[in-house]
Amino acid sequence: MKRILITGALGQIGSELAHYLAKEYGKDNIIATGRSHRNIEALGDLHFEMLDVSDGERLNELVEKNKIDTIVHLAAILSAKGETMPQETWHTNMGGLQNVLEVAKNTGAAVFTPSSIAVFGKDFPLDNTPQSTVMLPTTMYGVTKVSGEILADYYHQKFGVDARGVRYPGIISHLTLPGNGTTDYAVHIYYEAVKNNKYTSYIAKDTYMDMLYMPDALRAVVELMEANPDKLIHRNAFNITAMSLEPEKIAAAIRKHYPEFALDYAIDPVRQAIAESWPNSLDDTCAREEWGWHAEYDLPAMTADMLENLEKKLK
Ligand code: AKB
């Protein structure tokens, strides 16, 4: 990676990844893009261009003009929002990815695009979910993520596009809020702990999902894209994880800092059903073996860092 264009750069991951990549590869080598200016302040003085990923011509123009060699494609509609607008979710997620892959085919750029634990849905092992197993998602977001994995592999096999990806679990972070997914509760719980010392969870007790702290999610992008391609048996996309969490476990970690923290429940049936259709825990052996993946943050380390940063931001 030398010159990198990021789509969806104003979202939860993009707004942090842009700075991370700027540090690694130089500020002048990063073009952050998004389809509005909402949250633009998160990018500071990084170079920003307006881009709607449904506009393949504009994407091609930006890639050629800026001599981009890697496209990090993050723009997507997430799981809970996707269930309120399935048609638009298909159109945005699949149309955007196909434009990115076409531009990559024409220009020789490499592509990083995240998949998700949402690729799983029915008839798979819920515990220690393997890299390769049944993928029958129950959300439109999941349908686009499975299709996206297959499409990216197709562009690799057929046209030699260097497309790589990971299946992100829920990502916990303190800079930009997530954009209406199912795992968002695991971010909101920290904000509410700092603001009000209590949280009402829309996900039920004992509902386990995998989570990852943002610094690990960012490092994964660079490590996978810099990995030796000869070592990659899989490409799109690798299971990665750091911890398998449910609301009470996070609350217990928060209580080490805020002993009075109170957790209660008002279950959202839509997001609860999605959560129950996703793995309790992932097996990330393939990522470990093929490109050396490992997470650095566990629950206590993440909780301490989240609370410290949110106290600075919110108090
Ligand atoms: C969501 O909850 O939709 C996302 C995801 C796991 O892909 N955070």
Residues 2-29: what's their mean pLDDT? 97
**pLDDT value at residue 4:** 98
> Where exactly are the structural domains of the chain?
4-169+214-239, 170-211+242-280+296-314
**pLDDT value at residue 150:** 98
Residue 315 scores a pLDDT above 90:
no
Residue 108 scores a pLDDT above 90:
yes
Distance 178 CA to ligand 1 centre (A): 9
> Which residue's alpha carbon is at the smallest distance from atom 8 of ligand 1?
170
Averaged pLDDT score across all residues of the chain = 97
pTM of the complete model: 0.97
Domain 4-169+214-239 fold: Rossmann fold (3.40.50)
Q: Which residues are catalytic?
A: 141
**pLDDT value at residue 220:** 98
Of the candidates 211, 239, 209, 244, the residue with the CA atom closest to the CA atom of residue 224: 239
**pLDDT value at residue 258:** 98
Crossing angle between the packed helical segments 86-107 and 56-65, to the nearest 10 degrees: 40
Residue 154 scores a pLDDT above 90:
yes
> Which residue's alpha carbon is at the smallest distance from atom 7 of ligand 1?
116
Question: Is 80:179 a contact under the CB 8 Å cutoff?
Answer: no
Of the candidates 127, 163, 154, the residue with the CA atom closest to the CA atom of residue 281: 127
* Burial readout 220-240 (b: 16 or more C-beta within 10 A, e: otherwise): bbbebbebeeeebebbbbbbb
Alpha helices in the chain (DSSP H): 14-25, 56-65, 79-84, 86-107, 140-159, 185-196, 214-225, 247-255, 269-276, 285-291, 299-314
Residue 253 scores a pLDDT above 90:
yes
Cα–Cα distance list, 235 to 52, 112, 131, 173, 238 (Å): 26, 10, 11, 26, 7
| Ligand 1 interacting residues, C-beta cut-off 6 A | 78-79, 116-118, 141, 168-170, 178, 181-183
**pLDDT value at residue 181:** 96
Distance 140 CA to ligand 1 centre (A): 12
**pLDDT value at residue 58:** 98
Q: Which atom of ligand 1 is nearest to the CA of 80?
A: 3
d(CA 24, CA 12): 19
Q: Which amino acid does the sequence have at 177?
A: L
Distance 65 CA to ligand 1 centre (A): 33
Of the candidates 36, 37, 45, 33, the residue with the CA atom closest to the CA atom of residue 8: 33
Residue 183 scores a pLDDT above 90:
yes
Residues 203-209: what's their mean pLDDT? 98
* CATH number for domain 170-211+242-280+296-314, candidates 2.60.40, 1.10.1740, 3.90.25, 1.20.120: 3.90.25
Distance 104 CA to ligand 1 centre (A): 25
Residue 53 scores a pLDDT above 90:
yes
Taking residue 38's Cβ as centre, other Cβ atoms within 10 Å add up to 10
Q: Which atom of ligand 1 is nearest to the CA of 278?
A: 6
